[in-house]
Amino acid sequence: MSWNDSMIKQAKKIIKMYPQKRSAIGPLLHLAQSKDGYISDDSTAVISELVGITEVQVKSVSTFYSMYKQEPTGKYLLSVCKSISCEINNSKEIIDVVKDFTGLNNNETDENDLFTFEAVECIGACGGAPAMQINYETVEGLSSENTIKLCEWLKKEQPDVIIAEEMQDNFGGTKSFDWAIKDQSGTTGSVPGFQTFNTTKEKK
């Protein structure tokens, strides 16, 4: 196994939370992705050994869910919603703006590994359509102008932590609704932010 002792320890702790080892596969894939930013063949082999199923079975789960990446992404994963509420609120233009700015087509990463672009299904922010996510942090009520400004800010500042609230204040518009508590924790990489996996951080 090529996961270090701390990863294996964390994995075993996760597995213990489930009546059957194989039920832990989802969080184990998240753990793998927090390590590499994607699900490597090596991690697939480790998970298969840890839970006692075949590598093909592990792969069948990791390839089914689009948030488990099969290859490394850029520092910033730009996920623009293309589903119906966003589509009727001009998401096509937002998608075009992002594609033009980055020079990328769907699921491509630039040569500097800065941006990966993807057009995705509903991200649960329909009331604030059109919406997109940067490293799974959501910004709603986008205009074309603000989307360009957002992309320019990312390229110039290259922040290590992406925080939804900060992007919403600086580049967003109408929101679905206001969350009760302002959340100042953000994501530290192009994977979803989970405290358990150390992929969240507060900006200093």
Q: Which stretch binds ligand FES (CB under 6 A): 26-34, 125-133, 160-168, 180-188?
A: 125-133
Q: Closer to ligand FES at the Cβ: 47 or 81? A: 81
Question: Within positions 127 to 156, which residues make up the interface with ligand FES, using CB under 6 A?
Answer: 129, 131
Q: Are strands 76-81 and 185-187 parallel, antiparallel or unpaired?
A: unpaired
User: How many Å apart are CA 138 and CA 29, to the nearest integer?
Assistant: 22
Shortest gap between Cβ of 122 and ligand FES (angstroms)? 3
User: How many Å apart are CA 39 and CA 25, to the nearest integer?
Assistant: 12
- Spatial CA neighbour of 186 closest among 129, 174, 169: 169
Q: Candidates 84, 103, 152, 174: give the one binding ligand FES (CB under 6 A).
A: 84
Q: Candidates 40, 57, 70, 85: give the one binding ligand FES (CB under 6 A).
A: 85
Q: Are strands 132-134 and 115-120 parallel, antiparallel or unpaired?
A: unpaired
Shortest gap between Cβ of 126 and ligand FES (angstroms)? 3
- Spatial CA neighbour of 43 closest among 21, 57, 28: 28
Shortest gap between Cβ of 87 and ligand FES (angstroms)? 7
- Spatial CA neighbour of 74 closest among 41, 107, 101, 43: 107
Q: Are strands 76-81 and 115-120 parallel, antiparallel or unpaired?
A: parallel
Q: Candidates 122, 143, 153, 175: give the one binding ligand FES (CB under 6 A).
A: 122
Q: Candidates 126, 153, 155, 183: give the one binding ligand FES (CB under 6 A).
A: 126
107 binds ligand FES (CB under 6 A): no
In the complex, which residues of this chain contact ligand FES (CB under 6 A)? 81, 83-86, 122-126, 129, 131
